[in-house]
């Protein structure tokens, strides 16, 4: 296809009304571009942690998964799977129970309440009388912890407690440690798994918006149980300043009640109701939900139906006062996570980039909070078409043409070509402005006909260069977003050539801010024993999100970015959803 015809096709697409409205998609083209570029990548999804998009994901038959638990028996119902063994090992160490509500300090020692270590008796695998483990049942957020081996939901809570400085282990009785057992289950997919991928850090249990796509959108009609945060929050943190400035006449967005009437840590309830949607509303055409925190994971609705057991192994017993995510192996875990910064690898997940649903393409579905984080607008009437779009991609699979396009690969072409150039031009300390304009011209020189200079032609050549020979559809959300980004990028570069130095550099700084590429924040030059660290729930301090840096130990990760348990980043409580 000739470049001019490509430009025409894409231009028509911008004007065409579709189920996912083209005008919001055009306005949010940079965010859709980043959604494509960061999908299934730990680095970009950690920086752009509030995912607003859903994709159909296919995991091929035979893919290996890991599940950590305190139960040696195979799971049959709903539970969590990790793609990396180190991720599952966090949940395999025996659970530790915190002090009961209202616990008193030990007056003899003047310290925090002594924690009660909970453990499960090791049961022989051959006991035929033991019933199989069944599907997860909803557990009220205020229900006390029990000895039931529900590894993921219990251990998530303990991880959060440790991270936010709450004492859960303080001189526990070491005689229990000899009886504690944990297990690593290894499974394989019986068949191709069809999953709904929720982008960003959609498994991060925070109040920043990481769970909006689940709790505000998908579970809008099934609000979670009442939260139990009041004892953990500073009263000043509960002030209700929840409305955005309504400087124009547009409808005010409604900040989600976070979650709508619920508790971010209530993972059991969340998993149960998402899987109920998959079965009842989506005709069983989704096997589970693919999410990310410190590592990618799956909420699989039926282990028995979808998996075969490879092996079940007992793991190393914990050391006294140790906690699995904060002990001797914690950096190993982070290193395993960092190995997936640029993708999950091994062709273990394939996303459908030609037919996905994104809130960025719907009128008023997304607003940006005081920290410029995208949030879902908690209004039933606004969210109905979003839910319909998600239902459509699940129930009505995309009829792919003979040749499909991996639109993430196209974003890679753009980012890999321009990221370093734009960052250097925007942030560089040029002592000689001639060097600046030399570097700027070098970025666009291939698109210039120096005999006949026609600016519109030069911008067209630059903007359409990644699209050569690609099959295009006029209502393709991905193609339109990429084209909008390359058009603005190329226009900014060419216009800067004709501006004074200071104006040109400011224009490129504005371009860099608008693009928001995750590559701009990547560390340069970490040592072989270091990782470039960005906040990944529950680790991280705010300064690491602003400027990630190389670390060599988990103690360097800091804390406080995620809030939700009295941390400094906690959000005020908003009003209820609009029905």
pLDDT tens profile 61-76: 999 999 999 999 999 9
pLDDT at residue 324, rounded to an integer: 46
Cβ-contact 543, 343 below 8 angstroms: no
Exposure letters 155-167 (e unless 16+ CB within 10 A, then b)? bbbbbbbbbbebb
| Maximum mean pLDDT: which of 2-16, 167-181, 430-444 | 430-444
Residues 238-274 have pLDDT tens digits of 333 333 344 444 455 554 443 333 455 789 999 999 9
For the beta carbon of residue 390, count every other beta carbon within 10 angstroms: 26
For residue 266, which phi and psi values (nearest 5 degrees)? -75, 70
Please classify residue 211 by burial: count the beta carbons closer than 10 Å to its beta carbon, then call 0-12 exposed, 13-18 middle and 19+ buried: buried
- Print the SS3 string covering 368-432: ECCCCCEEECCEHHHHHHHHHHHHHHHHCCCCCCCCCCCHHHHHHHHHHHHHHHHHHHHHCCCCC
pLDDT at residue 402, rounded to an integer: 60
pLDDT at residue 253, rounded to an integer: 59
Please classify residue 303 by burial: count the beta carbons closer than 10 Å to its beta carbon, then call 0-12 exposed, 13-18 middle and 19+ buried: buried
User: Tokens 């251990």 sit at which residue?
Assistant: 155
Q: What percent of the chain has pLDDT over 90?
A: 62
pLDDT at residue 174, rounded to an integer: 41
Lowest mean pLDDT among 79-88, 189-198, 318-327, 388-397: 318-327
Please compute the mean of the pLDDT values over residues 387-391 and round it to a whole number. Answer: 97
| pLDDT bucket at 319, cuts 50 / 70 / 90 | low
| pLDDT bucket at 105, cuts 50 / 70 / 90 | very low
pLDDT at residue 140, rounded to an integer: 37
Please compute the mean of the pLDDT values over residues 319-343 and round it to a whole number. Answer: 76
Please compute the mean of the pLDDT values over residues 500-524 and round it to a whole number. Answer: 98
Lowest mean pLDDT among 112-121, 151-160, 337-346, 405-414: 112-121
User: Maximum distance among all alpha carbons in the chain?
Assistant: 88
Instruction: Say which residues have a Cβ less than 8 Å from residue 233's Cβ, sequence separation at least 6.
Output: 566, 570
Quick check: 297 pLDDT over 50? yes
Please compute the mean of the pLDDT values over residues 180-198 and round it to a whole number. Answer: 96
Quick check: 568 pLDDT over 90? no
pLDDT at residue 475, rounded to an integer: 80
| pLDDT bucket at 329, cuts 50 / 70 / 90 | low
Residues 3-59 have pLDDT tens digits of 444 444 444 333 333 445 589 999 999 999 999 999 999 999 999 999 999 999 999
Whole-angstrom Cα distance, residue 160 to residue 228?
Answer: 14
* Mean pLDDT, all residues of the chain: 79
The partner residues of 81 in beta bridges, in order of sequence, read 298
| Maximum mean pLDDT: which of 113-117, 165-169, 174-178, 242-246 | 174-178
Whole-angstrom Cα distance, residue 549 to residue 536?
Answer: 13
Task: Compare 508 and 137 and report the one with higher pLDDT.
Answer: 508
Quick check: 112 pLDDT over 80? no
| pLDDT bucket at 218, cuts 50 / 70 / 90 | very high
Quick check: 142 pLDDT over 80? no
Task: Compare 173 and 154 and report the one with higher pLDDT.
Answer: 154
Instruction: Say which residues have a Cβ less than 8 Å from residue 467's Cβ, sequence separation at least 6.
Output: 3, 6, 10, 410, 479, 482, 483
Distances (CA, A) of 180 to 4, 131, 320: 68, 22, 11
């Amino acid at each position: 296809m000739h470049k001019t015809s490509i430009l025409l096709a894409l231009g028509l697409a911008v004007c065409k009304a579709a189920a996912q409205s083209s005008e919001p998609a055009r306005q949010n083209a940079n965010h859709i571009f980043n959604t494509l570029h960061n999908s299934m990548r730990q680095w970009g999804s950690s920086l752009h942690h509030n995912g607003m998009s859903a994709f159909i994901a296919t995991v091929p038959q035979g893919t290996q998964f890991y599940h950590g638990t305190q139960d040696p028996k195979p799971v049959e119902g709903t539970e969590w799977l990790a793609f990396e063994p180190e991720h599952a090992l966090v949940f395999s160490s025996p659970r530790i129970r915190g002090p009961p509500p209202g616990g008193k300090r030990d007056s003899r020692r003047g310290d925090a309440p002594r924690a009660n270590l909970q453990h499960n008796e090791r049961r022989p695998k051959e006991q035929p009388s033991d019933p199989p483990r069944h599907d997860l049942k909803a557990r009220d957020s205020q229900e006390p912890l029990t000895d039931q081996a529900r590894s993921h939901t219990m251990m998530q809570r303990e991880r959060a407690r440790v991270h936010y400085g709450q004492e859960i282990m303080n001189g526990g009785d070491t005689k229990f440690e000899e009886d504690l057992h944990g297990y690593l289950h290894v499974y394989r997919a019986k068949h191709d798994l069809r999953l709904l991928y929720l982008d960003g850090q959609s498994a991060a249990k925070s109040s920043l918006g990481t769970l909006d796509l689940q709790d505000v959108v998908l579970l809008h009609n099934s609000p979670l149980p009442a939260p139990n945060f009041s004892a953990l929050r500073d009263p000043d943190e509960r002030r209700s300043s929840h409305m955005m400035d309504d400087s124009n006449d547009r409808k005010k967005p409604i900040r989600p009640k976070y979650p709508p009437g619920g508790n971010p840590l209530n993972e059991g309830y969340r998993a149960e109701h998402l899987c109920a949607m998959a079965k009842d509303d989506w005709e069983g055409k989704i096997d589970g939900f693919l999410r990310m925190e410190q590592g990618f994971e799956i909420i699989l609705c039926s282990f028995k139906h979808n998996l075969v057991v490879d092996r079940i192994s007992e793991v190393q017993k914990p050391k006294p006062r140790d906690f699995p995510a904060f002990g001797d192996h914690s950096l190993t875990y982070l290193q395993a996570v960092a190995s997936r910064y640029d993708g999950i690898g091994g062709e273990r997940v394939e996303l459908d980039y030609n037919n996905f649903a994104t809130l960025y393409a719907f009128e008023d579905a997304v607003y940006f909070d005081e920290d410029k984080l995208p949030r879902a607008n908690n209004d039933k009437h606004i969210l109905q078409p979003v839910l319909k779009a998600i239902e459509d991609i699940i129930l009505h699979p995309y009829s792919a043409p003979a040749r499909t396009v991996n639109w993430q690969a196209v974003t890679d072409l753009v980012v890999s070509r321009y990221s370093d150039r734009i960052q250097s031009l925007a942030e560089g300390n040029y002592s000689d402005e001639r060097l600046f304009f030399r570097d700027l011209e070098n970025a666009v020189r291939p698109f210039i006909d120096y005999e006949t200079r026609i600016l519109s032609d030069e911008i067209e050549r630059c903007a359409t260069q990644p699209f050569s020979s690609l099959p295009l559809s006029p209502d393709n959300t991905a193609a339109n977003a990429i084209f909008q980004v390359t058009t603005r990028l190329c226009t900014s570069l060419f216009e800067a050539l004709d501006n004074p130095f200071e104006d040109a550099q400011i224009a490129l700084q504005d371009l860099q801010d608008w693009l928001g590429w995750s590559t701009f924040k990547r560390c340069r030059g970490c040592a072989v024993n270091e990782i470039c660290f960005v906040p990944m729930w529950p680790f991280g301090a705010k300064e690491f999100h602003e400027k990630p840096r190389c670390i060599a130990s988990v103690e360097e990760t800091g804390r406080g970015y995620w809030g939700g348990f009295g941390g400094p980043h906690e959000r005020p409580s908003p009003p209820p959803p609009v029905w």
